Amino acid sequence: MATDWMQDYQGALKSSGAFREFFNEGFDENEMADRSSVIDTYSFLLPKKIAERIKLLGRDSALAKQFLPHLDEKTNSAGMYDPIGDKTHSKGGQIIHRYENRILFAPTTVCPVMCRYCFRKNELNEKDDLFNADFEKTLQYLKENPEIEEIIFTGGDPLVLSNQKIIFYLNAFSEIKTIKYIRFHTRFVTTIPSRIDQGFVSLLTEASKKFESVIVAVHTNHLEEFDSEVDAAFLKLKALPIQLMSQTVLLKGVNDSETVLIDLFKKLISLGCRPYYLHHPDEVKGGMHFYLPLEDGRKIYAKLRNKLPGWAIPQYIIDIPGGHGKVSAFNPESYRFSRELITLDGSILKL
Ligand SMILES: *Cc1c(COP(=O)(O)O)cnc(C)c1O
Ligand code: SF4
């Protein structure tokens, strides 16, 4: 029998036909044609409950902007295919190893939604061999690289895997004694909250006994993503012996405002979730209509400190194009960007 979350997942709107049919009344014919033509280039996926909420909130809502296809995706030719340089650090198979002590582990390319601003939107479509599965190679790599202490489940979204499959991976990782921390990065909690089911709760509880720390990092960008079901999913996670944190992408037209961010972070802390990262948007081809200059982001971020306790302010970070990794995006001394980057080894790189 399919579980609740699988029904929610399988019932999502997927094709341009489904998009047209559902949002029929929201757009005039030309705009509908423009928007659905985008789906040939960048796929569309939207759980029904979110689609229904978008109908209520309207086409200019933060939800609509995040999840409905827009012609700008095709017409704006700026941006990069691989904006954060993941390919530079791909170790083949399922691993991206950029920082010494931790790896990204991507057992799937699939997500519960297709975020229009996705930094991997070109790769996810391409289905290139960055993500081709080969778990034996992954385990071998971990054994050969004992400096790796943390496995970060990502994708796609690792929660599209069944609980059974996740348990299989966790058991294998628990055999490798150098692995201390397990982290999940997921978009499910605010898009298909039923995914936080009893089986997932149990597997996290078990994992917390096998590893020093288990972390769930929830991706969410706006208060409109929350309802009572979403709140309940957060509270289930909050009750577990894990660290619950959030990641937010700063997006033009969605949350590039002090009040929107403060409302979101206050909501998160009310649910026991600590804001972890605020990502400056990546310069991804097809997502440049969400891009804003770093200086604009710095001006917004500077204002958060007056209204939020320090522990509720996420780190504002930017992934430097070309695979240089994450660095602090905020410079409290100047809104301007010096273009002199202090790299991971402490040297200065002129951008
Ligand atoms: C973001 C990222 C991580 C995780 O970094 P944290 O700063 O620990 O959250 C790990 N590996 C890669 C390649 C990343 O891009
Ligand atoms: S959940 Fe993340 S990887 Fe998946 S579509 Fe959204 S931004 Fe991209």
| pLDDT score for 129 | 44
Look at residue 180 and tell me if it is in a domain: yes
CA dist 160 to 244, 284, 307, 332, Å? 19, 24, 36, 39
Q: Are residues 101 and 63 in the same domain?
A: no
Task: Say if residue 156 is preceded by a cis peptide, omega within 30 of 0.
Answer: yes
Q: Are residues 94 and 179 in the same domain?
A: yes
Tell me which residue range forms the domain holding 145.
Answer: 87-277
Rounded Cα distance, 284 and 130, in Å: 17
Q: How far is the CA of 104 from the centre of ligand 1 (A)?
A: 7
- The tokens of 124 are what? 């996810």
Where a domain ends, among 277, 300, 327? 277
Where a domain ends, among 75, 98, 117? 75
Q: Are residues 30 and 170 in the same domain?
A: no
Look at residue 156 and tell me if it is in a domain: yes
For 272, the 3-state DSSP assignment is coil
CB 170 within 8 A of CB 199: no
Q: Which of 39, 31, 33, 37 is nearest to 60 (CA)?
A: 31
Considering every ligand atom shown, identify the ligand nearest to the alpha carbon of residue 243 and give its number.
1
Q: Are residues 177 and 225 in the same domain?
A: yes
Q: How far is the CA of 345 from the centre of ligand 2 (A)?
A: 30
For 229, the 3-state DSSP assignment is helix
Rounded Cα distance, 298 and 280, in Å: 10
Give me the residues paired with residue 105 across strands. 95, 153
Q: Are residues 103 and 57 in the same domain?
A: no
Encode pLDDT of 290-314 as tens digits: 999 999 999 999 999 999 999 999 9
CATH code of residue 261:
3.20.20.70
What backbone phi and psi angles, to 5 degrees, belong to 152?
A: -110, 105
Residue 130 Cβ inside 6 Å of ligand 1? The answer reads no
Q: Are residues 185 and 145 in the same domain?
A: yes
Instruction: Reply yes or no on whether the pLDDT at 344 is more than 90.
Output: no
Rounded Cα distance, 275 and 311, in Å: 8
CB 220 within 8 A of CB 213: no
- The tokens of 258 are what? 């002090």
- The tokens of 309 are what? 């306790």
- Atom 3, ligand 1: residue with shortest CA distance: 104
Rounded Cα distance, 273 and 47, in Å: 23
Encode pLDDT of 224-268 as tens digits: 999 999 999 999 999 999 999 999 999 999 999 999 999 999 999
CB 84 within 8 A of CB 319: yes
- The tokens of 179 are what? 């692995």
Q: Are residues 164 and 265 in the same domain?
A: yes
CB 115 within 8 A of CB 90: no
pTM, to two decimals: 0.94
Number of domains in the chain: 2
Ligand 1 pocket: which of 90, 96, 101, 152 to mutate (most atoms <8 Å of CB)? Answer: 152
Q: Are residues 55 and 130 in the same domain?
A: no
CA 202 to chain CA centroid, Å, is 23
Encode pLDDT of 115-163 as tens digits: 999 998 887 655 544 445 589 999 999 999 999 999 999 989 999 999 9
Considering every ligand atom shown, identify the ligand nearest to the alpha carbon of residue 290 and give its number.
2
